[in-house]
Amino acid sequence: MAENTAGLRGITAGETALCTVGQAGTGLTYRGYDIHDLAEKATFEEVAFLLLYGELPTAPQLEAYLERLKGLRQLPVALREVLERIPADAHPMDVMRTGASMLGNLETEADFSEQDQHIDRMLATFPGIITYWHRFAQDGTRIETDSDEPNTGAHFLRLLHGRSPDPLHVKVMQASLILYAEHEFNASTFTARTCASTLSDIHSCITGAIGTLRGPLHGGANEAAMAMIEDWQTPDEAERELLGMLERKEKIMGFGHAIYRKSDPRNAIIKEWSRQLADKVGDTRLYPVSERVEAVMQREKGLFCNADFFHASAYHFMGIPTPLFTPIFVISRLTGWAAHVKEQRGHNRIIRPSADYTGPELRTWVPIEQRG
Ligand code: COA
């Protein structure tokens, strides 16, 4: 394979009506709407509806959608029991993977005509799956996963902290969930589509995608970015340490992108929310450190922050534990994955690419007693 096509870079692997990356507007569009408009004006559920059903909802449609999701938040008893058996030191992404898979055992998609109801159920239960396990693993509390919170972000924060969320935090969660919702043929979405192309069930598609998102080169980058910046007390220390990492040719998590070349359009949006949260909590360390890291990476390597970098500080300022960062990405990207599964099912052909063979020429069979 020619080097510039390694990782399938630049190769068109199918069609989608869901999203453009680096082509139109400010660089990211969902079904024709610019990400800046959506992050500023829409709610996450409007965006979920847009991705899953093709158009923005009318007011009655949105109201019905929110009510439907609210009514589906209770976890089945058998799923709670499974979550309680997962070790307290497990990785939360493994919890999400098991949670999605167990739900598929309990509420199996028998026919594709049921796909929307299973997608709604996952959207409604994923915040409960991760927070139920987290709270139980931390202090043995068995939380109620129902809440009256009107939207997914507020619901997640309430279950996590056990109290009514701060309105600014709810706004940031809305924006964050919108930014993470969809991104064309990224690795986890491609996993979901490949699984869908075999006519597998929706829970298998989503479970496979969660496993793919787990890696630090994909969704795990926000956690890795947090682990890096929280060690640094001042911008000067950050610069010194960062220069050392670059000299040792280490990858800096939260920087660079496979498609964007000059900037990630999601960064400016989450960076501004991170700044507002830093002001609110009176931070004088993490945000200035993050800004210095951004400046040094631009100066030294011409590399820009991707969506993950300022998500790290933003989530931290909202009191979200670092290991839960990537599960929030799952709660959001579920919408994009599921929309792609529906699209794949709509015009399906099994995904089965070819490979350039690099092994030995045809050889003669050697009986075991004659092998050296
Ligand atoms: N830190 C240091 N160097 C980086 C880098 C980073 N975050 N991202 C890219 N580079 C370097 C690459 O090593 C490569 O150098 P080389 O030519 O000497 O090997 C060069 O920049 C060009 O890389 P590019 O082709 O643009 O990246 P890619 O398409 O292979 O990989 C990522 C894209 C996202 C996987 C990569 O940028 C990365 O690993 N980033 C960190 C993880 C991350 O934040 N992931 C979340 C993505 S939204």
CATH number for position 258 = 1.10.230.10
**Tens digit of each residue's pLDDT (9 = 90 or more) over 51-75:** 999 999 999 999 999 999 999 999 9
Report if residue 368 sits inside a domain: no
* Residue 267, amino acid: N
Amino acid 3: pLDDT? 60
Tell me whether residue 370 is in a domain.
no
| Cα distance between residue 174 and residue 23, in whole Å | 24
Q: Indicate the number of domains in the chain.
A: 2
* Same domain for 154 and 170: yes
Q: Looking at the domain assignment, is residue 5 inside a domain?
A: no
Q: Indicate whether 86 and 205 sit together in one domain.
A: yes
Pocket test residue of 213, 255, 260, 305 for ligand 1, highest count of atoms within 8 A of CB: 255
Whether residue 279 is contained in a domain is answered as: yes
What is the model's pTM? Answer: 0.95
Domain of 82, in residue numbers: 19-220+327-346
Among the listed residues 118, 203, 257, 311, the single catalytic one is 257
**Residue 143 in domain:** yes
Residues 123 and 172 in one domain: yes
Q: Is the minimum distance from the CB of 336 to ligand 1 under 6 angstroms?
A: no
Shared domain check, 240 and 169? no
- Tokens for 143? 């939380």
Pair 300, 213: CB distance under 8 Å:
no
Are residues 216 and 226 both part of a single domain? no
The pLDDT assigned to 118 comes to 98
Q: Same domain for 214 and 288?
A: no
Q: Is the CB of 254 under 6 A from ligand 1?
A: yes
Quickly count: other Cβ atoms within 10 Å of residue 99's Cβ.
28
> Residue 232 domain-assigned?
yes
Residue 325's pLDDT is what?
A: 96
95 lies in the same domain as 164: yes
| Cβ-contact 237, 245 below 8 angstroms | no
**Two tokens at 157?**
């924060």
Q: Is the CB of 255 under 6 A from ligand 1?
A: yes
102 belongs to a structural domain: yes
286 DSSP assignment: H
Q: What is the pLDDT of residue 372?
A: 86
State the amino acid at position 360 in one-letter form: P
**What is the signed CA dihedral for 164, 332, 255, 239, rounded to 10 degrees?**
10
Mark whether 173 and 231 lie in a shared domain: no
CATH code where residue 173 lies: 1.10.580.10
Kindly state whether residues 201 and 237 are assigned to the same domain. Answer: no
Whether 359 maps to a domain, the answer reads no
**Pair (214, 109) in one structural domain:** yes
Give the strands of the sheet with 33-34, arranged side by side.
19-21, 28-30, 33-34
CB 222 near ligand 1, within 6 Å? no
Q: In terms of domains, do 177 and 281 share one? A: no
Indicate whether 201 and 189 sit together in one domain: yes
Q: How far is the CA of 131 from the centre of ligand 1 (A)?
A: 32
Ligand 1 atom with least separation from CA of 254: 44
> What pLDDT is attached to residue 217?
87
Residue ranges for the chain with pLDDT beneath 70:
1-3
